[in-house]
Chain A
Amino acid sequence: MNAIVEVRNVTKEYHGIPAVKNVSFTLYRGEIHALLGENGAGKSTLTKMIAGVVQATSGEVWIDGVKAEMTSPSQALNLGIAMVYQETSLVPSLTVAQNIYLIDDKRFHRLRGIYIAGQQFLQSLNFHVDPTALVSSLGAGQKQMVEIARAVHHNAQVIIFDEPTATLTPEEKHQFFSLVARLKQRGVSIIFISHALEEALTVADRITVLRDGQHVVTDVASAFDRDSIVRAMVGRTLTNELYGSREARRIRPAGSKVLSVQNLSMGNLVRNTSFSVFSGQVTGVFGLIGSGRTETAKVIAGVLKRDFFHGGQVRLDGRSVRYRVPRPAVRDGIVYVTEDRKLEGFFETMSIAENIYLGAMAAEQLKCTTVNMSEMRAIAKEWISTVNIKAINADARVIELSGGNQQKVVISKAVVQKPRLIMFDEPTRGVDVGAITEIHQVIDQLADQGIAVMVISSYLPEILQISDRILVCRQGRIVEEFDADRADEETVMYAAVH
């Protein structure tokens, strides 16, 4: 077999922090190659380098025996490499057919022509999607199909699928795997990123496992079983260096039940999930991307709405609550600290003081309803010293801060609301090592004060280190609970992927 893609010793650094370190990877012609690893293992970064989305800091990418210098995805597409993203890159205001034919060479398209051609093309792939439908009206599974159709339409020789099945129903998954088999028969090479190990074991010819940005193992799929993959994914040695020893920690007992989620459902993402969160304790929620943790937290906080019928129940201190918007949730003491701080966490052009003050205003804890500058400065000063925000002064704009300090502002903005229940979603994502420790200290202090704390994280060492109780989420529901002192990486990961 000859290699169609060869990656030689590539490294990719973001602000000096390596996401991928000295990785070599080979994709043979006509093979399906599964790329596995925990969240943050470097899978997406590696494939984005192959697809021209990001450029390697060092190392080389060879396509079909020729060294490639790709600076954009369109160059990669011209070389026959297409990537289907987990978060779709379709234009929501265009129709399905318009999206498929969007970057064709033709300057003008006749609408009727692309609808007819689109219909035929989608039918040839056995995709039941209306080519005249607006993409914004499609479900997650159908959007994924359109993404795949677009890649196939461009006659890509290499297609990279990033978590293609995370949002698909079982029937859609079956269709997807049939399509992958047909693509393989046509000689297309496929890189397949997935957290579903059984899918990788069933579909892939070869499997590569990455961990902490480094290559761990590559072998034929038949040489692996679930246990050996899980071991390769989590067997890390850096854990204690960053997070300290777990033995040194005291596990807090549960207080009263603050939150009781009962049979909560939201579309395909949250499926009849039930769990409780207790005061004075950190409840860690571990799961792989797409397991429905964020959506569950957002439904609790009123950011998203549960299903209209049979959507389940959320009880706060024994009282059934249903928030249509976040504001009443905040008034009741529920705070959600977002995983996407730039989009949802802060106002980037406003100062640190203004952002924190907005949190206090949202909780309606201030004496007056108008902005009181001296009160705003006093609150900001207090929180800058409490969480150790490194900035010139409280008037510094948040956009000018580092990721860790931005996250501290977001946390201050949440904690200033004096919550009963606080839900952190990936609190240390994109945060430097020093800030991680400080953020963990803040979380610990909140639990010590008797607040019910829920921490969602995809990074197992973090969950194991800060949680008093660990819940594991898989396919939209909580499937397992562990005492923090009895959990280890392998058992938690096993529960998350089986």
Chain B
Amino acid sequence: MIASISRAIDRILGRGEAAVTLPALDGALRPNRALDEADWRRPLPGVDCIAVHKGSLVVSAGQTVYRLAAGGAWESIGSYEASVSCIAPVDADSLAVALHEGAILIQGGRFDGRRYKIGSAKCITAMAASGEELYVANGSASNGPDEWQTDLMQCNASGSIWRLNLETGVETRLADGLAWPAGIAIAGSDVVFSESWRHRIVRVVSGGPRETEVLYADLPGYPGRLSSFGDGWWLAVFAPRSQLVEFILREPAYRERMMAEVPQPFWVAPKLRSGRSYYEPLQGGAVKHLGLLKPWAPAMSRGMCVWLDASFQPRSSLQSRADGNTHGITSIIDHAGETIAVSRGDNVVVGLRSPALGLGSSA
């Protein structure tokens, strides 16, 4: 009783859990420019998701999946009737491709050409395979993959995690009521996913139906796709949190009016790339000094990938600050001693030596 009264008072005064505050970018998340100083950069408009297929790097961009050819050029390996929302390797020879309207296609291998549809899922944000099982994150029940800003501004929590048996086509819902699950990984016998709007990484407790356990919470950005890296993990953080957005998220009337009356590019919302138009909010003294963008400005976009250890605690990070040019990291993998990140905000794929070999832990 007292706790609920205390929570109500906190909501009125903006204190406790209702405080508009952000965790510090320090320790393992200390700002750096590693992404901007990457060893190589390969531009590709609309690039979004990355995977390794048949020993090569493949990326999705729009309705096409490309392979990075030996000379560094992008070579198309498949085009689809709708935009690709994510890709994931099923085994060494096959690739799962999810489309915007919710279909999952298998390209190559045992299940080549098969097409699956999970219930009414139409917002597949990430997939991970383990044997014949494909684990799927459905970001939202009401918004598509490109409508993530709308989903955030609606404070939606209608995402779900599914297990799909590729042999039988049987689908099982593992968790629901999630706030935009955007990344999924298999850690031993557990399914781990990132929940963007709640800024956390969660494990589905095996054996316990629909029970989850929070592994790491209160990230300073919106976590996206996960991929394995050594005995740990890479986590792409596609946009930063900001106090202004956190405040807006506590103001439903303002949000509704903003969504109804303001064009989406100018919403007070996180972005994959900001600072391109002077109509955007947060201009002026908050972000610029003598006309130059401050690296520490509370911009609406940023580049960030977090290296997590086996227990999902941050060990180090690769970043692009407010004035950098590698924002909106939607996917990251480790391949052949290199870490390759996809910057959807700046339409570029960047590669650099893996941290274990070069950067070390800054934590």
**A residues whose Cβ falls under 8 Å from a Cβ of B:** 253-257, 260-263, 274-276, 278, 308-313, 315, 318, 320, 322, 469, 471, 478, 481, 483
Judge if B287 is at the interface, Cβ distance under 8 Å. Answer: no
Q: How far is the CA of A260 from the CA of B314 in the complex (A)?
A: 14
Q: Chain B's interface: helix, strand, loop or mixed, by majority? A: loop
Known: A263-B243, A309-B14. A275 touches B21 (CB 8 A): no
Q: How far is the CA of A309 from the CA of B218 in the complex (A)?
A: 22
Known: A254-B363, A315-B218, A483-B362. A308 touches B23 (CB 8 A): no
Q: How far is the CA of A263 from the CA of B218 in the complex (A)?
A: 14
User: Which of chain B's residues has its CB closest to A307's CB?
Assistant: B15
CB distance from B304 to the nearest CB of A (A): 16
Contact B23 A262 (CB under 8 A): yes
CB distance from A53 to the nearest CB of B (A): 41
Judge if B16 is at the interface, Cβ distance under 8 Å. Answer: yes
Q: Tell me the B31-46 residues at the A interface (CB within 8 Å).
A: none
Known: A253-B363, A308-B13, A322-B15. A262 touches B21 (CB 8 A): yes
* 13 further interface pairs, Cβ-Cβ under 8 Å (given A262-B23, A275-B24, A313-B21): A253-B361, A254-B27, A257-B27, A260-B23, A276-B23, A276-B24, A309-B13, A310-B14, A312-B21, A315-B218, A320-B16, A478-B26, A481-B30
Judge if B167 is at the interface, Cβ distance under 8 Å. Answer: no
Q: How far is the CA of A212 from the CA of B159 in the complex (A)?
A: 62
- The residue that A322 contacts in the complex, of B14, B16, B362, with Cβ under 8 A, is B16
CB distance from A485 to the nearest CB of B (A): 11
Contact A263 B13 (CB under 8 A): no
Q: Which of B13, B313, B363 has the most CB of A within 10 A?
A: B363
User: Which of chain A's residues has its CB closest to B313's CB?
Assistant: A256
Q: How far is the CA of A69 from the CA of B123 in the complex (A)?
A: 85
User: What residues on B are CB-neighbors of A309 within 8 Å?
Assistant: 13-14
User: What residues on A are CB-neighbors of B30 within 8 Å?
Assistant: 481
User: What residues on A are CB-neighbors of B17 within 8 Å?
Assistant: 320
Q: How far is the CA of A310 from the CA of B16 in the complex (A)?
A: 10
Contact B22 A254 (CB under 8 A): no
Judge if B217 is at the interface, Cβ distance under 8 Å. Answer: yes
Contact B24 A278 (CB under 8 A): no
Contact A274 B22 (CB under 8 A): yes
User: What residues on A are CB-neighbors of B26 within 8 Å?
Assistant: 274-276, 471, 478, 481
User: What range describes how many residues of B lie at the interface?
Assistant: 20 to 34
User: What residues on B are CB-neighbors of A260 within 8 Å?
Assistant: 23-24, 218
Known: A469-B27, A478-B24. A312 touches B19 (CB 8 A): yes
User: Which of chain B's residues has its CB closest to A257's CB?
Assistant: B27
Q: How far is the CA of A469 from the CA of B362 in the complex (A)?
A: 10
Closest 10 CB pairs of A and B: A262-B21, A274-B24, A254-B363, A263-B21, A313-B19, A313-B21, A320-B16, A275-B24, A481-B26, A260-B23
Q: Tell me the B303-361 residues at the A interface (CB within 8 Å).
A: 313, 361
Judge if B259 is at the interface, Cβ distance under 8 Å. Answer: no
What total count of A-B pairs have CB within 8 Å? 66
Q: Which of B218, B243, B313 has the most CB of A within 10 A?
A: B218
User: Which of chain B's residues has its CB closest to A321's CB?
Assistant: B16
User: What residues on B are CB-neighbors of A478 within 8 Å?
Assistant: 24, 26
**B residues whose Cβ falls under 8 Å from a Cβ of A:** 13-17, 19-24, 26-28, 30, 217-218, 243, 313, 361-363
Q: Chain A's interface: helix, strand, loop or mixed, by majority? A: strand
10 pairs, CB–CB < 8 Å, chain A vs chain B? A256-B313, A260-B218, A263-B19, A263-B21, A263-B243, A274-B24, A309-B13, A313-B15, A320-B19, A322-B16
User: Which of chain A's residues has its CB closest to B17's CB?
Assistant: A320
Q: How far is the CA of A312 from the CA of B24 in the complex (A)?
A: 12
User: What residues on A are CB-neighbors of B19 within 8 Å?
Assistant: 262-263, 311-313, 320
Q: How far is the CA of A275 from the CA of B22 in the complex (A)?
A: 10
Contact A278 B23 (CB under 8 A): no
User: What residues on B are CB-neighbors of A255 within 8 Å?
Assistant: 313
User: Which of chain A's residues has its CB closest to B19's CB?
Assistant: A313
User: What residues on B are CB-neighbors of A276 within 8 Å?
Assistant: 23-24, 26-27
User: What residues on A are CB-neighbors of B28 within 8 Å?
Assistant: 254
CB distance from B306 to the nearest CB of A (A): 13
User: What residues on A are CB-neighbors of B362 within 8 Å?
Assistant: 483
User: What residues on A are CB-neighbors of B23 within 8 Å?
Assistant: 260, 262, 274, 276, 315
CB distance from B296 to the nearest CB of A (A): 10
User: Which of chain B's residues has its CB closest to A263's CB?
Assistant: B21
Q: How far is the CA of A256 from the CA of B17 in the complex (A)?
A: 21
Q: How far is the CA of A256 from the CA of B363 in the complex (A)?
A: 10
Contact A318 B217 (CB under 8 A): yes
CB distance from A483 to the nearest CB of B (A): 7
Q: How far is the CA of A313 from the CA of B14 in the complex (A)?
A: 10
Contact B243 A311 (CB under 8 A): no
CB distance from A272 to the nearest CB of B (A): 9
CB distance from B19 to the nearest CB of A (A): 4
User: What residues on A are CB-neighbors of B243 within 8 Å?
Assistant: 263
CB distance from B336 to the nearest CB of A (A): 27
User: What residues on A are CB-neighbors of B363 within 8 Å?
Assistant: 253-254, 278
User: What residues on B are CB-neighbors of A261 within 8 Å?
Assistant: 24
User: Which of chain A's residues has its CB closest to B309's CB?
Assistant: A253
Q: How far is the CA of A253 from the CA of B309 in the complex (A)?
A: 12
User: Which of chain A's residues has its CB closest to B217's CB?
Assistant: A318
Q: How far is the CA of A320 from the CA of B14 in the complex (A)?
A: 13
CB distance from B214 to the nearest CB of A (A): 8
Q: How far is the CA of A309 from the CA of B19 in the complex (A)?
A: 9
Q: How far is the CA of A254 from the CA of B313 in the complex (A)?
A: 10
User: What residues on A are CB-neighbors of B15 within 8 Å?
Assistant: 311, 313, 322
CB distance from B192 to the nearest CB of A (A): 17
CB distance from B250 to the nearest CB of A (A): 13
Q: How far is the CA of A308 from the CA of B10 in the complex (A)?
A: 11
- The residue that B16 contacts in the complex, of A256, A308, A313, A471, with Cβ under 8 A, is A313
User: Which of chain B's residues has its CB closest to A275's CB?
Assistant: B24
Q: How far is the CA of A263 from the CA of B23 in the complex (A)?
A: 8
Q: How far is the CA of A322 from the CA of B14 in the complex (A)?
A: 13
Q: How far is the CA of A274 from the CA of B31 in the complex (A)?
A: 14
